[in-house]
Every structure is written in C-alpha cells, then in structure tokens.
Amino acid sequence: MIKNWLLAFRLKTLTAALVPILVATALVRFEGFEVNYMLSVWAILSATFIQIATNLFNDAIDFKKGADTETRTGPKRVTQSGLITQKTVFTAGFICCLLSALCGIPLVIQGGVPILILGLVSITMGYLYTGGPYPLAYKGLGDLFVIIFFGLVALCGTYYIHTGSVSTSSVVAGLQVGFLSTVLIAINNLRDSKEDVKVNKLTLAVRFGLTFSRIEILCLYLFTFLLLAYWYLQGAYPAIYLSLITLPLALILIKNIWSNEPSSIYNKYLAKAAMIHLLFGVLFSVGLII
C-alpha cells in the first residue's frame, strides 16, 4: 500500500516544490537579510503538499477523462491501474490541500495578507491544473502554470516572507527555477502527445507538434543559462560557476530528446530533467551562500 501511494505522489516531480524554496533562502542570505530557516521548512512542506495534491488530482482526473489508459507509455498511474480507487485518490488530494494550508499558517503569520492570498490561489490552482470547468493542462496552459507557481510564486513568496519585499534578483531566480521545472512537464507532454490528442488534451505538444515542444525544451534551458549573466552583474561568481556544471547534462538531454521519438525512454529523460533541476538548484544555492 505504501508503495502505491509513493507511486501516486510521483516523488521525482517533487523537486519542483523543493528547489524554489532552497534558492530563495540562499538568495535571502546572499543579499544580507536574516534567514529564518523554520519558515523555509514550513514553505517546503506547504509547497510539497500542493505538488502532491496536484499530482493526485491529475492521476484521478486523467483517468476519468480517458487520458490514462493501459496503453500509456508513461509511468504507471495508480487510478488507471486499479491500485487505488479514484475516490480515494481524490480524497487524498484534498487532504494534502488541507495539510498545505496548515503548514502555511506560520507563513501567513509572518507575511500577512499577500502570503494568504498567494497560498489560497496556489492551493486552488493545484486542483484547477487538471480539474474544474477550464483545466489548464487540457488547454495548453500547464507550462505557464509551472513557471508562475513553481517558479515565480514559490521563490518570490519565500523571499517576501523573509524580507517583506520582492526584488529583481528574486524574479530572475524565480524564472530560472520555473524554466527548469517546466522542462519536466514539457517532456511529459511530449511523451504523452499521442494519447493526449485522442482525448482532446490540448497540451503544447498536441497544439503545435513535437518539433515545437523540442524547441520549447531547448529554449527553457537556453534562457535559464543565459540569465546567469544577470548574476555576473551581481558578483555572484561562485553561483554561476557551480550551476554551469549542469550545462553539459542539459545539452546531453536536449540531444537525446531531439534524437529519439517519444516512447518509454522519455521516462528516463524525465528523471534526468528532475535531476538537473535539483542539481542546478543545490549548486546555485551553495554558490550564493559561499
């Protein structure tokens, strides 16, 4: 049973919740503000529960709409496989939303009304990603959702909790983290494009084709590394040098995606993208701190 729930949580995607908080905390210290590490821990917990809830809703709703079938090339989904009932998965998703809200209480106490609004919107959007009358993932807006909420909102929100403001640096870092996180969903949608088109799930890969999605992934990585020029102007040289360690890994992944048609091998590419996301976040954060 535990194994089934860990499968439903999609552990490899949880870097999307961890990395922006990690980078934001390092940035706060880099800019000379006092860091409250417990607030960062609560932020990680809150963001992680939102991510898990989003994954659970996605699992249940995609099965209900026919997007997940026995022919899917992606990782096994617990609802489609009959491992956990759709109702149970839905219930677990709402419980995770509640847990996210509870973990967010210390953040609201510290950050006030702006953080309360961001938190409520983030939790709601976790459901609306695949649920509701206008599911973002089915309208080609999933990529933008990830950039905004698992990049800008998560990072700038954490930065605001510590400093009471949002800086240009937090926005730039938020974009970089958001771009890297969006690579994961772009690979996922590229892999699932054949199944998605059958159920009118209009991801960018379905709307504009495989070449567009490959170019999207290329651009997401390109903009992430080009934005390192901003940190050169800020004198954050260790952060630049350390994060550039991930560049060869990104280039290899891009080459593989361009060289291979969508298939089960993209599951490995998804794992590698998550690793690059996490490694970039850790190395960049270490560089800011030292």
Is the CATH number 3.30.499 carried by domain 2-289? no
Tens-place pLDDT, residues 105-116: 999 999 999 999
What would the DSSP string read from start to end of 233-281?
Answer: HTT-HHHHHHHGGGHHHHHHHHHHHHHS-SSTTHHHHHHHHHHHHHHHH
Look up residue 226 and give its amino acid: L
**pLDDT at position 20:** 96
- Parse the chain into domains and list their residue ranges: 2-289
Average the pLDDT over each of 137-146, 222-231, 241-250 and give the range with the smallest value. 137-146
Over residues 22-77, the pLDDT tens digits come to 999 999 999 999 999 999 999 999 999 999 999 999 888 888 776 666 666 667 78
Residue 4 above 90 pLDDT? no
pLDDT at site 67: 60
Contact yes or no for 151/174 (Cβ under 8 A): yes
- Classify burial at 290, counting beta carbons within 10 Å of its beta carbon; exposed 0-12, middle 13-18, buried 19 or more: exposed
Over the chain, what is the mean pLDDT?
A: 92
Q: What is the pTM of this model?
A: 0.92
| Per-residue pLDDT reduced to its tens digit, 89-132 | 999 999 999 999 999 999 999 999 999 999 999 999 988 888 88
Using CA atoms of 262, 268, 272, 275 in order, give the dihedral in degrees to the nearest 10: 130
Percent of the residues in the chain that have a pLDDT greater than 90, as a whole number:
73
216-229 per-position pLDDT tens digit: 999 999 999 999 99
